[in-house]
Structure 1
């Protein structure tokens, strides 16, 4: 049977032009600054700290110019623990301990942030104007150098505000981190293969109307792109019932169910589209007047008018900026039965956030393509909803998995979720961070042990 599907090369459809001064430049003249994000560890953040992180993100985003896209991308990849038993000074028990955990599976977390400066026209494009639908991509020239300079100044302010918070750290990605070297993959290659393993070859990418396949991996995509899918209330943190008691609360970020608590290979994309707020509000004022004139013909028009007026009242009363937002969870598997289970697990995770799970089968290809670093300008505008910065930030994940303590002194413990061994300093490092102000030591030994310690 003859293959009637259209095929083309990745080179002809690739939307990015170059990487200059550690920034990605697209063929549509969009400029993207890329960061690696270091978040606090899981189950270590209190309510006041979550509020401080939320406030830091808000202050930083307020410094960005209009027609900027904030794209936070969290990777959750299943990996196997690889012990380092070749290091010097390991005792027999230490080596046996490491070998016991050899190849133990765990979910590793990588977080990136992309700040893209685009244009008003690009922010309004729908899915049928994606670079995937264009025959030939002709690179455009950046004409307004002053806009680029102001954007880079705003990016520097953004980075400084977030880093000064003390909870989240931004690290600028270099050209080698983005496009890779001969020894390691770059971020772009990792996304196009959906793999962080070294020496993973490029495979065929099938972008269909209802299915996306990368090699043998098939994607399933759940989106939050409509206000009807969202919960009635959101907050910077939520109570984790499994580890909470009547007297104490164990807190996680509001979006934690689609983060580390979703134990499968997936990417959680968070988009904020910073339009011109005044222009958005004027458009809503006009829409409210139209709804008012049509309210006598339909109760739905009357309800829509009331919702629009509430939105406008909130914006004008508290000086809030009108933006658009979108969130999606992209999971994948090379096994059909496992993919079906992933759809159920992802839908359940969104339901835990009191969201309405919506399995997207229409814009999977364009949403995957727009999720590429530096290509957020290709995002289809019809997949976003209007909101304010503060409630949109509640959908950011704000924690990462447990990390080894940098101090050489410590004890071996296990990750609470996966059982992966962790080197933890429970004495000196908490003192340096101000978590504790004093400490006690308990010494257990045979007769004469105290004399040995005192000597």
Structure 2
């Protein structure tokens, strides 16, 4: 079995501001998003948000790959920052201490590929041993791409329902390390590929590919009603 040490063959060659130069020649612009609170949007809000995405992304250069990544991690709440002096404060402190919750982080990546086709074998394996010389200097083409991405992100932010900010270099490094480490904290571990699953440390992973519009059924809409919380007086919408 051919093994590659990630620490010796990092997928990232260089980072300039929020621009990542990957070892396969791709250039990636990285952003982190602040999304609306769940169930806070109406049906019209979802339609407007869908329209903002459509208008923002349609102006990007041909061949641009847009990758939206939503990371949900099960966490335990630490109530250390809560006051703990009065009777009521102590009760509140103990009530929330150690309670489980889902932490959600949203990331948005715009990828300028070195080659036009994504089915080239070099894009399949992020650990592929590629010479650093494949990464080119920041030229006019990349600057033009960065300007187009900046315009698209500004359009999304102007919708006032979402806010995407550029990731810093250290944040990109931390996200990369956490991702390939299976979001295990406190230690480094290996990726174990099984026939039916992927194990990284104590965490188990699976994958679902939506590779055709037929996967969506007969109709697709920007939102749907949450029947569990909806009543005669209030209607709660959620993403489709």
Same fold per TM (> 0.5)?
Answer: yes
Gaps of 5+ in 2: none
Selected match of 1:244 from 204, 211, 230: 230
Selected match of 1:149 from 143, 146, 159: 143
> How far off its partner does 1:225 sit?
1.7
> How far off its partner does 1:123 sit?
2.2
Selected match of 2:153 from 150, 153, 159: 159
2:107 counterpart SS class: strand
CA contact (8 A) 1:36 1:172 kept: yes
Cα deviation digits, residues 120-158 of structure 1 (max 9, x gap): 4342336x8623584x31231326812101101111101
Hey, what does 1:189 align to over in structure 2? 177
> How far off its partner does 1:210 sit?
4.6
Selected match of 2:213 from 210, 227, 231: 227
Q: Summarize the Cα distance change of 1:172–1:65 in structure 2 as closer, same or farther, 3 Å threshold.
A: same
Hey, what does 1:138 align to over in structure 2? 131
Is 1:79 the counterpart of 2:75? The answer is: yes
CA distance in 2, matches of 1:157, 1:132: 29
Larger-gyration structure (1/2): 1
Selected match of 2:116 from 94, 108, 121: 121
Cα deviation digits, residues 179-221 of structure 1 (max 9, x gap): 1xxxxxx111111222274xx2111122456542212333222
Aligned residue runs from structure 1 range 431-450, under 5 A: none
CA distance in 2, matches of 1:143, 1:47: 45
CA distance in 2, matches of 1:247, 1:99: 34
> How far off its partner does 1:85 sit?
5.7
Gaps of 5+ in 1: 180-185, 255-455
Q: Summarize the Cα distance change of 1:196–1:91 in structure 2 as closer, same or farther, 3 Å threshold.
A: farther
1:53 counterpart SS class: helix
Bigger helix share: 1
Q: TM-score, length-normalised on structure 1?
A: 0.49
Is 1:62 the counterpart of 2:58? The answer is: yes
Q: TM-score, length-normalised on structure 2?
A: 0.89
Selected match of 1:177 from 171, 174, 185: 171
> How far off its partner does 1:104 sit?
0.9
Selected match of 1:48 from 44, 47, 65: 44
CA contact (8 A) 2:63 2:116 kept: no
Cα deviation digits, residues 57-113 of structure 1 (max 9, x gap): 11110221111111111111111111136648x422112221122101111111111
Does 1 or 2 have the higher relative contact order (CA < 8 Å, sep 6+)? Answer: 2
Aligned residues: 239
Is 1:97 the counterpart of 2:92? The answer is: yes
Aligned residue runs from structure 1 range 273-284, under 5 A: none
CA distance in 2, matches of 1:177, 1:250: 34
Hey, what does 2:191 align to over in structure 1? 205
Cα deviation digits, residues 12-37 of structure 1 (max 9, x gap): 55332111122110112211111110
CA distance in 2, matches of 1:74, 1:159: 17
Q: Summarize the Cα distance change of 1:72–1:132 in structure 2 as closer, same or farther, 3 Å threshold.
A: closer
